[in-house]
Amino acid sequence: MLGIPPARLWLEALPGGKPHLPDHPGLFFNLSHSGDWIVLATASHGQVGVDIETIDSTFPAMEIAEEFFLEEERRWIRKGADSTLRFFQLWTAKEALMKATGEGMSLPPDQILITTSRDRLLTATNLRTGRAHELLTETAAPAGMALCTVFLTDGE
């Protein structure tokens, strides 16, 4: 994308730990990995966050959701035929927003509201700021994976 050898790239961490390329302020990126998969998201109009997770059917999804998710999110998880899949869809959306903002876990999952419509995720709202962000969920993700990307516009 930049037309230069990778060895010439300089990475630094922003205050929250998010990596960035200080010599290329117009290129934003984020990485995630799970199992044998890695995903890289890039953007040119603002920060980006991405998360991919392996869906583990033995994971205590509802127990974790009770601690970290909002009531309406827990209701949405319970409505679906596959509650574990729905948990990971919500989790990847929350983590993608945490990573996009650079706040990481200092923005707790219960301070992010994921709005849904039927089986689709629509927005992630940072309840601290009130800002809602569209979600890009990847339905073509490998079987057994959940993937979500959040793009922020400049100034957010």
What are residue 39's DSSP bridge partners?
A: 32
- Crossing angle of the two packed helices 71-79 and 83-101, in degrees rounded to 10: 140
In whole angstroms, give the CA distance from residue 140 to residue 127. Answer: 29
Domain positions in the chain are: 28-151
Which CATH superfamily does the domain covering 28-151 fall into?
A: 4'-phosphopantetheinyl transferase domain (3.90.470.20)
Mean pLDDT by 10 residues, the chain (156 residues): 92 90 94 92 92 93 96 94 92 94 92 92 94 81 83 66
Distance CA 51, CA 56 (A): 15
Instruction: State how far Cα 16 lies from the chain centre.
Output: 16
pLDDT attached to residue 55? 92
* CA neighbor of 72 nearest in space, from 25, 116, 120, 38: 116
Determine the pLDDT at residue 139: 57
pLDDT, residue 141, reads: 66
Helix-then-strand count for the chain, H and E: 3, 9
Q: By the 8 A CB rule, do 111 and 126 touch?
A: yes
Place of tokens 């990126």: 29
pTM comes to 0.91
What pLDDT shows up at residue 24?
94
pLDDT of the residue at 154: 52
